[in-house]
Amino acid sequence: MHMTHDAAAPAAETIDFGQFLAVDIRVGTILEALPFPEARKPAYKLLIDFGPAIGKKRSSAQITEHYTLEELPGTQVAAVVNFPPRQIGKMMSEVLTLGFPDAEGKVVLFRPTVTVPDGGRLF
């Protein structure tokens, strides 16, 4: 499946509501942000708390352009929590942290504007 991040790209093919529900997107709070020098593209290692049902999960995120390691702890983010883990360099990334491209294609985090309970599911 090829995904494009181009704002001018047409909408993806039509899916049904069941397919949407199959993608489990939850909110979590970043506990820890660490450098990830081994990553092919500039990235950080994140430890995110998704609350009692999902727990703490690791993610690699290419968010180095807009965010510093120091500002990320305490920030809430959205992530897909039901993809299989992916090996990225020496790290196992357990969730896909979500973002949108800015005008230059750099990642801007997708996050709530008001603090919400960790583990809440996107609907």
Q: Using a cut of 0.85, tell me whether the model's pTM lies above it.
A: yes
**pLDDT exceeding 70 applies to what percent of the chain?**
96
User: What distance lies between CA 118 and its chain's CA centroid?
Assistant: 14
Domains of the chain: 23-109 (2.40.50.140)
Is residue 113's pLDDT more than 90? yes
Mean pLDDT confidence for 97-111: 96
Mean pLDDT confidence for 1-23: 82
Mean pLDDT confidence for 23-27: 97
Determine the Cα–Cα distance for residues 90 and 88; give it in Å rounded to an integer. 6
Comparing C-alpha atoms, which of 23, 28, 113, 33 is closest to residue 77? Answer: 28
